[in-house]
């Protein structure tokens, strides 16, 4: 059984601070996806990374896939209240149409 561990489980910061959240596994994935979910809504895809060592930037968000494709990180620069939400990572394997999800990191950014 493949598992994804996300840390921290909960993070509360002030507007303008930087933060990093992590997604770790003992298993190799062919792709890693990050989603953000707001209360009462479904997860919204932020990014998909597929190559070991890959770094993708989405405005103030930087995503990195580990060299061994077992872990990933999400770094947010100068966090804003609009970044508040549950950040989920999900690992995929090519040729098999299911994803393994972590429990998520709940981020609260206060003004």
Q: Which residues bind other proteins (CB under 8 A)?
A: 4, 30-31, 33, 35, 40-45, 48, 50, 88, 90, 92-99, 101-104
**Pick 95 or 111: Cβ nearer other proteins:** 95
Residue (1 or 111) nearer to other proteins, CB: 1
State the nearest-atom distance from the C-beta of 17 to other proteins, in Å: 25
d(CA 34, CA 88): 6
Nearer Cβ to other proteins, position 33 or 64? 33
Query: Measured at the alpha carbon of residue 15, what is the angle toward residues 14 and 17, in degrees to the nearest 5?
Result: 75
**Beta carbons of 21 and 74 less than 8 angstroms apart:** yes
**CB of 4 closer than 8 Å to CB of 91:** yes
* Least Cβ distance, residue 43 to other proteins (angstroms): 5
**CA-CA distance, 30 to 13, in Å (whole number)?**
32
Say if residues 79 and 13 touch (Cβ distance below 8 Å).
Answer: yes
Q: Cβ of residue 95: shortest distance to other proteins, in angstroms?
A: 8
Minimum CB separation of residue 31 from other proteins in Å reads 5
Comparing CB distances to other proteins, the nearer of 96 and 111 is 96
């Amino acid at each position: 059984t493949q598992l994804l561990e996300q840390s921290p489980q909960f993070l509360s910061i002030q507007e303008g601070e930087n933060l990093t959240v992590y997604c770790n596994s003992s298993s190799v994935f062919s792709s890693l996806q990050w989603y953000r979910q707001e209360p009462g809504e479904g997860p919204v895809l932020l990014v998909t990374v597929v190559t070991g060592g890959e770094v993708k930037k989405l405005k103030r968000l930087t995503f990195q896939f580990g060299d061994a494709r077992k872990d990933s990180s999400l770094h947010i620069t100068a966090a804003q209240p609009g970044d508040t939400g549950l950040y989920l990572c999900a690992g995929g394997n090519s040729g098999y149409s299911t994803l393994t999800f972590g429990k998520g990191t709940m981020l609260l950014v206060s003004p």
